[in-house]
A and B are shown apart, each in its own frame.
Chain A
Amino acid sequence: GAGVSQSPSNKVTEKGKDVELRCDPISGHTALYWYRQSLGQGLEFLIYFQGNSAPDKSGLPSDRFSAERTGGSVSTLTIQRTQQEDSAVYLCASRFAGGAYEQYFGPGTRLTVT
């Protein structure tokens, strides 16, 4: 079946602009995760959703970052007033919630802030 999809695959934006990154999880997966990976670094947890609610937003770096999920499906990560340090690959993952289920990752969005 279809995997996790993300769009756009690449985004170049000017410092100070807002960007929206989209994630479409695997059908039926109720949990959705956003991570950030800077060049050569590990995965940095940002936020996860259980259905449409976000029980854990502890990883969002600042109030410029926000995310929402609607209809228990598609999620959007918004970064306002982008800064150069926001440049990274933003990865989305989904899984069945609860129990010992694996996460499956999308291809990521490479964000470059110039």
Chain B
Amino acid sequence: QKEVEQNSGPLSVPEGAIASLNCTYSDRVSQSFFWYRQYSGKSPELIMSIYSNGDKEDGRFTAQLNKASQYVSLLIRDSQPSDSATYLCAVNEANNFNKFYFGSGTKLNVKP
């Protein structure tokens, strides 16, 4: 079992809709969770970090963490074509803030 699992997609949503991206992780003790956006041909760009159970909002983005169920999700409200990218979930290794596991990413297509 991979440490971090994501549906590869593509996830297609119409412009203006809410895009919901999900990630599950295997290590119950992981403490830090991150979402990165990667445009084709570019390097990953940090969008959100979340460390506590619940929701964290930043503009159109909301990260949701449920440690009991071992999942973290990213909601994108009012999706725009410019949001079309691959979204990577990253989780730190249990008891080691210095090592991270990345999911393989979910490709999001926002259709005008």
Chain A residues within CB distance 8 Å of chain B: 31, 33, 35, 41-43, 45, 48, 50, 55-56, 89, 91, 97-108
Contacts and interface: CB of A to CB of B under 8 A. Distances in A.
B87 to A, nearest CB: 11
Interface residues of B, number: 23
Q: Is the interface of B mostly helix, strand, loop or mixed?
A: strand
A107 B90 CA distance: 18
A105 B43 contact: yes
A108 B41 CA distance: 10
17 contacts: A31-B98, A33-B100, A35-B102, A45-B99, A89-B43, A91-B44, A98-B97, A100-B49, A100-B97, A101-B97, A102-B49, A103-B34, A103-B46, A105-B43, A105-B45, A107-B42, A108-B43
A48 B43 contact: no
Nearest to B42: A107
